Chains A and B, each alone.
Chain A
Amino acid sequence: MTPPEPQSAPAAEARAPVARANPWLCALLAWLIPGAGHLVLRRWGRGGIFLALILTSLVVGVALEGKLWHVIPGQPLSYLGTLTCAGLGIPFLVLRFVLDYQGNLHAQGYEYGAAFILTAGLMNLLVILDAWDIARGLKE
């Protein structure tokens, strides 16, 4: 008899029955608060991991005074950058409209910080899709 294979917390959660939840609600919550979509689906471990990773990436980006993209008329790339940053949900809204954060062009870490912030936004967009798939029963 072979010993049971070690499983991570997310793996154990994957075997748990999927909590019923509205996919749209999950996606909305996942957008507003990174990882919240998984928490609603009782994927505690994965939700916590995603929250920690995304917030860490964002905090590092802001600490480096990286660029937070905003729409610049006539520059199509700025639309993509803004959409990516907006994928962060509430953290983006707070940075943009409450703290009026834009980054510091003269900071040494401006470009590096921008990469961390954009990556945080992209990660949350993928997390939203993952929560959507789990809520619809397309994924464990």
Chain B
Amino acid sequence: MSHFLLMVLYSALVSLFFAALWRRRLRDQVVLFLQLFLGMVGVGLALAWLMYPFPSGPPTPIP
């Protein structure tokens, strides 16, 4: 499974959990779920984008 799908799955599970734990009304639960889910995925993508210039493995040999 790809890293991105795992991140989306993790975000969905955690967001659903806190929406059920912290809110009682359906509308509030949906709002909190969307805030948490989109926040986690968005921040994850932003961090990935910021780290993109950095190498992720050993340097490629110079020809």
Q: Interface residues, chain A, CB within 8 Å of chain B? A: 5-8, 10-11, 14, 46, 49-50, 53-54, 56-57, 60, 64, 109, 112, 115-116, 119, 123, 126-127, 130, 140
Interface residue tally on B, bucketed by range: 10 to 19
Complex contact B26–A126 (CB within 8 A): no
Chain B residues with CB under 8 A of A49: 16, 20
Contact A11-B25, Cβ < 8 Å, known A46-B20, A53-B16, A53-B17: yes
A50 CB → nearest B CB, Å: 7
Q: Interface residues, chain B, CB within 8 Å of chain A? A: 1, 3, 6, 9-10, 13-14, 16-17, 20-21, 24-27, 29
Chain B residues with CB under 8 A of A53: 13, 16-17, 20
Count, A-B residue pairs, CB within 8 A: 51
Residue of A nearest to B30 (CB): A8
Partner of A115, one of B10, B16, B20, B25: B10
Closest 5 CB pairs of A and B: A8-B26, A11-B24, A14-B24, A49-B20, A53-B17
Partner of B10, one of A5, A119, A130, A140: A119
> Could you list some 7 contacts between A and B, CB below 8 A?
A6-B27, A10-B29, A11-B25, A11-B26, A50-B17, A56-B13, A126-B21
Tell me what chain A mostly uses at the interface: helix, strand, loop, or mixed: helix
Chain A residues with CB under 8 A of B10: 115-116, 119
Complex contact B26–A7 (CB within 8 A): yes
Complex contact B29–A8 (CB within 8 A): yes
- Complex formed: what's the CA distance from A123 to B10 in Å? 12
A107 CB → nearest B CB, Å: 12
Chain B residues with CB under 8 A of A112: 3, 6
